[in-house]
Structure formats: structure tokens, C-alpha cells
């Protein structure tokens, strides 16, 4: 069995200079330069075609900046997060590639063919394109910012199969379809505390509807009314398929799932007091715009968790296994992870009082532009911690953290409150690579563009 070739940035560019058809390499893996979290692909291949072949880019963030080509083909590459900034190509083909997130920003593409591309979050921050084909696209989320396509091809798929969010002040259409026609799935109407006109259901009536496969969204506004105070709504059916809570009001009962086997569950616009999951396996958990006093997952295997504005006082994940977790605009006073294994956590925008980890294994934590009061890493093991333009008001405690790489971009970070024991730095027992870079105010929204052009300069650091 042949080994997978590992390419540094220099070697990657040398191979492209030799022949931009990297399919000839077979399987290969790229690594970023020491101290860098970005793997930049800045190329002028005007009139030529770039084929990336079977590359593994999951160990770094990939940024296409100022790249010009007739065609860029992603082949069957695997990515973590990809930024397409100032990309100018006639044809972008994503075909059979995969990524946790893909972001278009100031890109100009004549034709964009997603093929069978698999992505958890797709961002059209700023894209000008004549044709976008998403017929076979598999996407957990599509975020529409400034999108200027002449035509969007859904073919035999209805747009309702995609969960599409629109930025306020951005494009309010995707192709010829308007936002109101798509039924923006996370739109929450003004609060109606009395929920006047809501349908009342007993626990037994609700369970009957659930077992019949009734669409809960079709009920409109409904309320679960227990016969006796403190009643528990326990859902323990082995295989439930998909559940969408719609606009349900569950504040008068405790909702408990026992060993659920589900492809997906959406909290939609529901209101909960306490909701607890124990054991089981769930493909996708969509917290959407739900509200809850207490949200607990214990011993559950989850493929992807989406948090797009969920408002919860306390969120707890204990002994869980999660492949991808996206914290976008989540409003949470306390977010706790204990004894858990997580592949990627991506915290985009959002306000969190406190986030803590204890005895966890996390391959990647990207704080991005999220805001935290405190971050406690506890006695955990992380692959990469990236906090570029992350706002931390009070404290980052990494005193017991083991991490391969830890990067701080301290535009708003109070790094004087970073606690790292001197004995753990530069050893196998603690943080192996610690990097700091001062971010200018202009970089707050475009830090990934500047990061690939500037050398990260280590700064003096106060050890405690």
C-alpha cells in the first residue's frame, strides 16, 4: 500500500508550477507552515485549469485569494473550512468534494457547479455568478448575503429541501425565488405571550400525533397542557425518523428523549422549559430559533448540531460524540461540555456568558467572531484552538489544556487574563505551539484574508 504524500505550501506550489493537474498525484495531504492556520492558494492561472484531485486539506483552513483561472476543479478533495476570496474563474466545479464550511466572498464566477458537493454550512457572503447549479448539492445550511446570480438551477429539487437564511440588508432572493416565497425557516414572529388561538394538546394526544407521523409544523401554534402538574413527556420510541417541533409550547412539561434513533430533529420555533436527551443516535440536531431554560444531551451520538439563534439559559453536553457543531448567533448563559468527543466546533457570531470544557477531546475549536465572557478549557485535549477576532471579556483559562496548536488573534481579547502554566508550554504535556498576532481594526471582518499575507509575530505573554 502506497503512503499518502504530505505537501508543504512550498511543495504544493512547486507541483502546480510543474503541472496544475494534481490528479496525477493520487492521494495527498497538505500542511500549513509553522505558526500559520491558513493554507493560502493565491494563483494566477489565467486561461489555464486547476484540478485539485484527491487532496486532504482537513488539517488547515484553505483560502483562495486573488486566484484567477479558466477553471478550478475540487475533484474529491476533503476540507475543513474553505474561503473563496476574490476568486475569478469561468467555471468552479466542486463535484464530489466535502467541507465543513465553504464561504464565498468577493468572488466572480461565470458558472458554479456544485455537483454532489457535501457541506454543512455554505455562505454566499458576496458572489457574482451567471449560473449556480445546486441540483445535487448536500448542504445543512445556506446563508445568503450579497448574491448576484442570473440563474439558480434547482432542477428536480424544490428549494424547500434546503434550509436557507438571508442576511438582513443583503440579497432577498436566490435566483428568481424571493425570500417570502421560500418561507425563511428561522423567522420568528413577534412574541405572543398568551399564544392566543393556540391548539391545546394533552401529552397523550401529542404522542398519538407523533406516532401517526403527523407534521407538527402543520399544527401551527400549539400548547402541551399536562393533566397533572410536573408531568414528563417521555419519548422513547426506538425509531422516530424526523421530528420538527414547529411552533409548539412545551413550557408546562419536561420533555425527555430516551435512546432516540432519528435522522434529524428540528426545534424550529418551539418553547421549552427543560428538554433532555439520554443516549441514542441523531443524524442532525437543529436548535434553530427555539427557546429553552435547560437543554441537555447525555450519552448521545450526533452527526451535526446547528445553533442559529437558539436562546437557552443552560446548555449541557455530557458524554456525547459530535462530528460538527456550529454555534451561530446562539444566546446562551452557560454552555458546558464534559467527557465528550467532538470533531469540529465552529463559533461564528454569538454571545455566550461562559463556555467550558472538562475532560473533552476536540480536534478543532474555531472561535472566529464569537463573543464570550469566559472560556474554560479544563483538563481537555484539543488538536487546534483558533481564536482569531474572538472577543473574550474576562478570562480564558487554559491552565490544564493539552493542545497541539493554540492561536490567538487579540483584536479585542484581554490576553492579560490568559492563564497558561509556564511548565506546560513547549512540552508534550501541554500546548506545543502557541502563537499571537495583533489584529488591526480593519481586519475584524476579514481576518482570514490578512492572515495569509502576514507573518504571525509572537508576542510577549504574561504567564501565571
Summarize pLDDT for 76-119 with one digit per residue, the tens.
Answer: 999 999 999 889 999 999 989 999 999 998 899 999 999 999 99
What is residue 454's predicted lDDT score, i.e. its pLDDT? 38
What is residue 190's predicted lDDT score, i.e. its pLDDT? 44
Q: Report the distance separating Cα 398 and Cα 380, nearest Å.
A: 9
CB 302: neighbour CB atoms within 10 A? 23
Mean pLDDT, range 151-175, rounded to an integer: 77
Average pLDDT, the chain: 82
Mean pLDDT, range 223-252, rounded to an integer: 82
Beta carbons of 143 and 165 less than 8 angstroms apart: yes
User: Any bridge partners for residue 165, and if so which?
Assistant: 143
Beta carbons of 124 and 143 less than 8 angstroms apart: yes
Buried b / exposed e along 331-370 (16+ C-beta atoms within 10 A): ebeebbbbbbbbbbbbbbebebbbbbbbebbbbbbbbbbb
Mean pLDDT, range 426-455, rounded to an integer: 47
Is the pLDDT reported for residue 180 higher than 90?
A: no
Angle at 288 between CA 284 and CA 290, to 5 degrees: 120
What is residue 339's predicted lDDT score, i.e. its pLDDT? 98
User: In this predicted model, which residue has the larger pLDDT, 118 or 197?
Assistant: 118
Between 278-282, 354-358, 431-435, the lowest mean confidence (pLDDT) is in 431-435
φ, ψ of residue 60 to 5 degrees: the values are -155, 170
What is residue 226's predicted lDDT score, i.e. its pLDDT? 86
How many Å is the maximal CA-CA distance in the chain?
Answer: 75
Strands lying side by side in the sheet with 321-328: 239-244, 261-266, 281-286, 301-308, 321-328, 341-347, 361-366, 381-388, 402-409, 434-437
Beta carbons of 393 and 417 less than 8 angstroms apart: no
What is residue 424's predicted lDDT score, i.e. its pLDDT? 43
Q: What percent of the chain has pLDDT over 70?
A: 80
Whose grid coordinates read 402541551? Answer: 224
Q: Report the distance separating Cα 243 and Cα 262, nearest Å.
A: 8
Radius of gyration of the chain (CA): 23
User: In this predicted model, which residue has the larger pLDDT, 304 or 347?
Assistant: 304
Most confident of 147-151, 258-262, 453-457: 258-262
Mean pLDDT, range 54-70, rounded to an integer: 92
What is residue 125's predicted lDDT score, i.e. its pLDDT? 87
Is the pLDDT reported for residue 231 higher than 70?
A: yes
What is residue 453's predicted lDDT score, i.e. its pLDDT? 37
Angle at 146 between CA 145 and CA 149, to 5 degrees: 115
What is residue 183's predicted lDDT score, i.e. its pLDDT? 57
Between 39-48, 157-166, 212-221, 424-433, the lowest mean confidence (pLDDT) is in 424-433
CB 107: neighbour CB atoms within 10 A? 23
What is residue 4's predicted lDDT score, i.e. its pLDDT? 92
Q: Residue 195: in which H helix or E strand, if any? A: none
Q: Report the distance separating Cα 71 and Cα 360, nearest Å.
A: 42
Is the pLDDT reported for residue 28 higher than 50?
A: yes
Beta carbons of 150 and 174 less than 8 angstroms apart: no
Does the predicted TM-score (pTM) go above 0.95?
Answer: no
Query: Which residues lie closer than 8 Å to 158 by C-beta, 6 or more apart?
Result: none
Q: What percent of the chain has pLDDT over 90?
A: 42
Is the pLDDT reported for residue 240 higher than 90?
A: no
Which three cell numbers, joined as nine digits, stand for 24?
A: 496525477
Amino acid at each position: 500500500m502506497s503512503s499518502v504524500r504530505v505537501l508543504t505550501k512550498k511543495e504544493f506550489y512547486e507541483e502546480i508550477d510543474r503541472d496544475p493537474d494534481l490528479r496525477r498525484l493520487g492521494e495527498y495531504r497538505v500542511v500549513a507552515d509553522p505558526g500559520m492556520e491558513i493554507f493560502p492558494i493565491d494563483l494566477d492561472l489565467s486561461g489555464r485549469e486547476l484540478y485539485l484531485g484527491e487532496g486532504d486539506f482537513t488539517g488547515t483552513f484553505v483560502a483562495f485569494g486573488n486566484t484567477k483561472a479558466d477553471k478550478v476543479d475540487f475533484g474529491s478533495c476533503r476540507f475543513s473550512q474553505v474561503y473563496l476570496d476574490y476568486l475569478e474563474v469561468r467555471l468552479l466545479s466542486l463535484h464530489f468534494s466535502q467541507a465543513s464550511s465553504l464561504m464565498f466572498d468577493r468572488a466572480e464566477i461565470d458558472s458554479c457547479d456544485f455537483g454532489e458537493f457535501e457541506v454543512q454550512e455554505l455562505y454566499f457572503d458576496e458572489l457574482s455568478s451567471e449560473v449556480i447549479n445546486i441540483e445535487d448539492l448536500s448542504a445543512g445550511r445556506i446563508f445568503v448575503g450579497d448574491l448576484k446570480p442570473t440563474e439558480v438551477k434547482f432542477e428536480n429539487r424544490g428549494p424547500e429541501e434546503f434550509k436557507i437564511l438571508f442576511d438582513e440588508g443583503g440579497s432577498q432572493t436566490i435566483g428568481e425565488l424571493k425570500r417570502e416565497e421560500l418561507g425563511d425557516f428561522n423567522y420568528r414572529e413577534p412574541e405572543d405571550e398568551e399564544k392566543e388561538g393556540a391548539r391545546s394538546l394533552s401529552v397523550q394526544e401529542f404522542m398519538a400525533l407523533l406516532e401517526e407521523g403527523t407534521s407538527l409544523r402543520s399544527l401551527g401554534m400549539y400548547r402541551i397542557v399536562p393533566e397533572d402538574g410536573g408531568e414528563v413527556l417521555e419519548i422513547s420510541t426506538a425509531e422516530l425518523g424526523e421530528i420538527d417541533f414547529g411552533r409548539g409550547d412545551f413550557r408546562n412539561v419536561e420533555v425527555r428523549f430516551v435512546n432516540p434513533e432519528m435522522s434529524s430533529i428540528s426545534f424550529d420555533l418551539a418553547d421549552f422549559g427543560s428538554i433532555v436527551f439520554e443516549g441514542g443516535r441523531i443524524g442532525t440536531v437543529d436548535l434553530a430559533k427555539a427557546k429553552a431554560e435547560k437543554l441537555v444531551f447525555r450519552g448521545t451520538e450526533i452527526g451535526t448540531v446547528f445553533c442559529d439563534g437558539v436562546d437557552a439559559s443552560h446548555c449541557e453536553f455530557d458524554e456525547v460524540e459530535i462530528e460538527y457543531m456550529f454555534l451561530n448567533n446562539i444566546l446562551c448563559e452557560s454552555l458546558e461540555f464534559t467527557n465528550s468527543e467532538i470533531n469540529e466546533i465552529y463559533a461564528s457570531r454569538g454571545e455566550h456568558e461562559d463556555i467550558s470544557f472538562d475532560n473533552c477531546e476536540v480536534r478543532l475549536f474555531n472561535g472566529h467572531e464569537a463573543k464570550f465572557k469566559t472560556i474554560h478549557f479544563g483538563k481537555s485535549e484539543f488538536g487546534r484552538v483558533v481564536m482569531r477576532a474572538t472577543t473574550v471579556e474576562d478570562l480564558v483559562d487554559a491552565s490544564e489544556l493539552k493542545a497541539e496548536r493554540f492561536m490567538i488573534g487579540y483584536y479585542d481579547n484581554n490576553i492579560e487574563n490568559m492563564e497558561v502554566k509556564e511548565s506546560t508550554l513547549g512540552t508534550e504535556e501541554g500546548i506545543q505551539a502557541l502563537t499571537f498576532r495583533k489584529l488591526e481594526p480593519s481586519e475584524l471582518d476579514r481576518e482570514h484574508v490578512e492572515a495569509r499575507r502576514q507573518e504571525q509575530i509572537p508576542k510577549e505573554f504574561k504567564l501565571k
